[in-house]
Amino acid sequence: MFKKLEEVERRYEQVQQQLQRPGVADNKKEFRSMMKELSDLEKLVVVYRGYKKTIKEIKSNKELLESEKDEEIRQMAKDELGELEQVKKEEEQNLKVMLLPTDPNDDKNIILEIRAGAGGDEAGLFSEELFRAYSVFANSKGWKTQLISTSSGNVGGFKEVIALISGDQVYSTLKYESGVHRVQRVPKTESQGRVHTSTVTVAVIPEAEEVAVKVNPNDLRVDVYRSSGHGGQSVNTTDSAVRVTHLPTGIVVTCQDGKSQLSNKEQALKVLYSRLVAMEEDKKRQEASSARLSQIGTGDRSERVRTYNFPQSRLTDHRIGLTTHNLTAVMSGEFSEIIDALIAHYQVEALKRQSNDS
């Protein structure tokens, strides 16, 4: 581990020196790449340098204990040594986590897709509430949420809602949200107060560019039609809605929430490219060994991941056994407690696998 950390620190210093060269900012693409690399390396280097400082202080306190005769000073050194040993332990754990192989998609924006599942109208209503909660959370993180497509339910809510969420580390934060989300509550239309169970599916797909997937233009059928539903006064006045069909796979993407046909087509293609890349990644996962599947299997859309029990204000994440009775806050966009716990859990699992492999 320490050899790797020394290499990272050396590379950090090299990039710093390269950025000081005259004219380095003239090549904007290379400059942005180097600045991003510097920023990524700096996070690890700061922790590593703090760790080295802690090691020096531990050594200094041990030397003091060996040479000092004054009992009061010796006791102070002992107390500080105990605190430093705890800091060292925490810093070592942080360094191990930071050295774990990173997901190449972690820095990407996402396509968020929420669809009503079992439960009819109630599932559609919850789809809208869950999307609103994610939107509030995204806003609190300084991210941008752009609606791509919606399909309204019979009594309101969404049969389906698709949005692009862009910002810093969006995929790394939300990637564990994929799966089946179950809701238990008394519907407004239920006269006898019985609790109903319904489900929605959430898909978090890293945004892919056209260059990431080869698509033959002849394999695409693009249809335009008149928008309906959300969109304001301009809706229904022009044939601006777009439906893109990828003929080889049968994937269909529609977009009608933009004001122009061109913008709707661009957004529909973004979703299509992302779905095609996700499909290819799913295929690779299925072809992998069962051991490898156990390492990856956190984004399965068919896996029941969470239950929202409204009568008891209880939320349970089934993957990590986390239960909280703060459901109102979660539905107001406060996902941090759950997301942080999920990330920590999967980091620990990754560390265990790394230890077993070494």
Q: Per mean pLDDT, which range of 131-135, 143-147, 206-210, 236-240 is the poorest?
A: 236-240
The pTM assigned to this predicted structure is 0.71
The reply to whether 187 and 42 lie within a common domain is: no
Closest by CA to 318, choosing from 298, 344, 290, is 298
DSSP 26: G
Domain that holds residue 330: 110-348
Query: Two tokens at 24?
Result: 């380095």
The reply to whether 194 and 226 lie within a common domain is: yes
pLDDT digits (tens, 9 = 90+) for 241-268: 888 999 988 999 888 877 788 888 888 8
The CA R_g of the chain, rounded to the nearest whole Å, is: 26
Checking if the pLDDT of 207 tops 70, the result is: yes
The reply to whether 36 and 184 lie within a common domain is: no
The reply to whether 270 and 128 lie within a common domain is: yes
The reply to whether 172 and 302 lie within a common domain is: yes
Domain boundary among 98, 130, 163: 98
pLDDT digits (tens, 9 = 90+) for 26-39: 888 888 888 888 88
Q: What total number of domains does the chain contain?
A: 2
Q: Residue 57 maps to which CATH number?
A: 1.20.58
269 falls within a domain: yes
Q: Residue 205 maps to which CATH number?
A: 3.30.70.1660
The reply to whether 174 and 307 lie within a common domain is: yes
The reply to whether 89 and 119 lie within a common domain is: no
| Mean pLDDT of the chain, nearest integer | 84
Rounded Cα distance, 206 and 165, in Å:
10
**Residue 351: pLDDT band by 50, 70, 90 thresholds?**
confident
172 falls within a domain: yes
The reply to whether 251 and 329 lie within a common domain is: yes
Checking if the pLDDT of 342 tops 90, the result is: yes
**Residue 227: pLDDT band by 50, 70, 90 thresholds?**
low
The reply to whether 94 and 154 lie within a common domain is: no
The reply to whether 159 and 185 lie within a common domain is: yes
pLDDT digits (tens, 9 = 90+) for 149-204: 888 888 888 999 999 999 999 999 999 999 999 999 988 767 677 889 999 999 99
CB contact set of 222 (below 8 Å; sequence gap of 6+) = 242, 243, 244, 245, 265
The reply to whether 181 and 79 lie within a common domain is: no
Pairing of strands 220-225, 179-185: unpaired
86 falls within a domain: yes
Domain boundary among 67, 98, 129: 98
Domain boundary among 78, 98, 118: 98
358 falls within a domain: no
